[in-house]
Amino acid sequence: MTDYKIDNDVAKSNILPAFSITVNDSNTTALYSDADIQAELIKVIQQDGDITVFDRQAGLYERLTIKENIAFYHKWFGCQTPIPEILVMFKLQKCADTRLSKSSSSEIARVYYAKDYMVGARPCVFQEPIHGVDILTIHTFIEMLKALMEDGVPVLVLVSNMEHALLLGDVAYRLEEKGLHKIEIESEELDATKTEPSTSPSIANLFKIPAKIDDKVILFDPPEIDYIESQDGKSNIVINDESFAMDSTLSEIEKKLEFYGFYRCHRSYIVNLQKVREIITWSKNTYSLRIDNKSQSTIPLSRTKIQDIQEIFNLK
């Protein structure tokens, strides 16, 4: 087994806590942190010349076509995989003759993925790899992670989005000032007895969900809410990319919201089923729900919940 270890003590950084993390080639490791901590972490990682941090900032040639960019780096890195296979692998065959300056942001991201892949087998760190890209491109990156794993390449993915950490990581951690903490990837049954979600309309008492903004309390109608997420032990209501803190835990609010068409789709998420636009299958055991809101948010769907969702939407 190939692995690499990242060690940090307070002498190296005043922002990062003391921590140690080992990344191996048997799974993809995701690390969730805010932008400041992520920037400091990259400085620590780059002190080791054997580890490359890949981002989507520079290194491509806008005047060249996508295929010409691929051919340049294919020769530069001495990649043994034929160029046509690289184009197919990264879903670039249909836009191969497009100049990079005329390509979409998602197409450019896939060119970066291809460039990173052609570097060859060595420990890799990817910074915000799927930020702002389309579903096809996310699929492509996930497939690349599988290929790197098959090649025995240890991979660490740095993200500032919890959903991305849960989607990309076989193992996930949260890094904050207090230290490094493991994130539960798979949802477990929270109660000894499982209750089936209600699929028929129910008459309920007037019910609003309170949230806090500074010293004010705002009351939200359930249909307004896209989803509710839990991070660091705190729950937040999400409405069109805006997040509002609430006092209740997910377990406390879950039963009340079932009457309004909400469902606990993951340990850390309760989703408004009326807002679900798409069920995405990333791999055999990895799923997401796409929400019909301004940013078309995707939230994790536990593999233990996929059957429930299929039954709720009559997909079987």
Give the pLDDT score at 176.
87
E strands of the chain, at which residues? 3-8, 19-24, 28-32, 52-54, 124-127, 155-159, 171-176, 179-183, 209-213, 216-220, 227-231, 234-239, 242-246, 262-266, 269-272, 276-283, 286-291, 298-301
Residue 80 has pLDDT above 60, yes or no: yes
Give the pLDDT score at 200.
43
Q: How far apart are CA 273 and CA 307, in angstroms?
A: 15
Give the pLDDT score at 101.
96
Give the pLDDT score at 195.
43
pLDDT band per the 50, 70, 90 thresholds, residue 201: very low
Give the pLDDT score at 13.
63
Whole-angstrom CA distances from 64 to 60, 67, 68, 79, 83 are 9, 8, 6, 19, 16
pLDDT in tens, 87-126: 999 999 999 999 999 999 999 999 999 999 999 878 889 9
pLDDT band per the 50, 70, 90 thresholds, residue 274: very high
pLDDT in tens, 278-314: 999 998 788 999 999 888 889 999 999 999 999 988 8
Q: Residue 207 — φ and ψ, nearest 5°?
A: -145, 125
pTM: 0.77
